[in-house]
Amino acid sequence: MLLSDVRVTFGDSSEKDIVQKAYGLGPYIVGGFAGSVRLGFQLLESLGQLLVVPPGVTEPGAYEPVEVVQHWQATAADVFAKTDKVEQAAHSHILLVGISHEIDPKTAQIPNAVHRPRAFIIKMMSPFFEPIITRRPQ
C-alpha cells in the first residue's frame, strides 16, 4: 500500500487539497510522486506505459520492481530533461512499492518456513532518477 497527501502549493504560495498523487501502475507495482504535479503525472504515465499488460493476458505475473526501475531510469531522466525549467525547479520525487515474485532467500533455506515474496520500496529523484532501493524489513 502507498499513501500520499493531496495538497498542491501554487506559485502564489496558496495551497489546496485537490490532487491524488498515488496510483496503481502495473501488476503489483504502485507509485506516487512529490514535487511538480505536471512532471509527476508525466513520469507516472511514462512508467505506466512501460507496465501495460498485453491484451489477452488474463492473469499477469508480477513485474520485477528492481528490473523495472533500472529499465525506466533513463526514460525518467529524459522526461525531466525535456520539461520546461519552471517544472524542473519544482523537482520531482517518485516513490514506488513493488512486490517481486522471487522468494526471500533468508526463508528459502528454512524447512517449513512461510515463504513470502519480496517487497521493495524504491525512491527516485530528479534530475537523474538513480534508484534508491529498500527491501521491506522482515
At 55 the pLDDT is 81
At 75 the pLDDT is 97
Q: What is the DSSP string of the chain?
A: ------EEE-TTS-EEE----EEEEETTEEEEEEE-HHHHHHHHHHHHHHTPPPTT-SS-----HHHHHHHHHHHHHHHHHHS-HHHHHT-EEEEEEEEEEEEPHHHHTSTTPPP-EEEEEEEEETTT---EEEEPP-
At 107 the pLDDT is 67
Mean pLDDT of 53-80: 86
C-beta of residue 8 within 8 angstroms of C-beta of residue 16: yes
At 36 the pLDDT is 92
At 1 the pLDDT is 59
At 101 the pLDDT is 77
More confident residue, 63 or 6: 63
At residue 132, does pLDDT exceed 60? yes
Report domain extents, the chain: 21-52+59-91+99-135
Average pLDDT, the chain: 84
At 138 the pLDDT is 47
Mean pLDDT of 32-46: 92
At 99 the pLDDT is 87
pLDDT in tens, 78-130: 999 999 999 999 999 999 999 887 766 666 677 776 767 788 999 999 999 99
Residue 105 in grid coordinates: 532467500
